[in-house]
Structure 1
Amino acid sequence: MHKYSFEKLEVWKESTQLAIKIYKISGLFPSREKFGLSSQMRRCSVSISSNIAEGTSRLTSKDKAHFMTIAYGSAIELLNQAIISKELSLITNESYLDLRKEIESITNKINALRNHFLKT
């Protein structure tokens, strides 16, 4: 089976696993959050890996870097939502710290990829 270039990227693999984790965690939120924080967290977690994938298909390095910037922004948005979720006691402090660690790893890799595209 043919693999697209994004499927080979460690940062894409990590971000898809993060999205799956977010779906599982947010599925435990109260039903009143179905269209609120849960929905927001799911959308932006999927946006991270989606923008990485889309960015790799772009023709110019500038375009590729732009999509990495969008992916980075989605990851920071997710971190903000995780902080709010912790403050509302929707997730445990342990879950929050785990998410924060994963987001930090992903944002570091996105930033490195973005910088690579800007240099080419």
Structure 2
Amino acid sequence: MSQAPGDTPEDRRRHARGLRAHLSGEVAEAQVARHYEALGFVCRETRWRGPYGEIDLIMEGSCLAFVEVKRARTFAQAAPRLAPAQVARIGRAALDYIARHPDLRLKPMRFDLALVDGKGEIRLIPDAFRFDQGV
């Protein structure tokens, strides 16, 4: 007798790993949002999704920070997880967000990378990447 798709031991392990990754990502994003708030920012959005992709955090202070959060055992493992294709998606999503919020069009903006290591320590890299609108 064969098992139903999605009901094998490997499928259950894969699902459990995915759920752990999703939940640890949510925890890391909440930690980073609190860190920004301690710096005087206000959280406008968490996991904002538009037609071009998702932005982990949108924080507003002296500027509008579009924040990508990467979590790994070490900062060195987390940093390279931001791929060029993801930078392009985040940039297009940010432009879409700004288009939907005309009151923010004159606000300076930047793209930050927030790294969270296995101990829960946070390293912020403000203005970590640029988005070329021609991409």
TM-score normalized by the length of structure 2: 0.32
Bigger radius of gyration? 2
Task: Tell me the TM-score normalized by structure 1.
Answer: 0.35
Identify the structure with the greater helix proportion.
Answer: 1
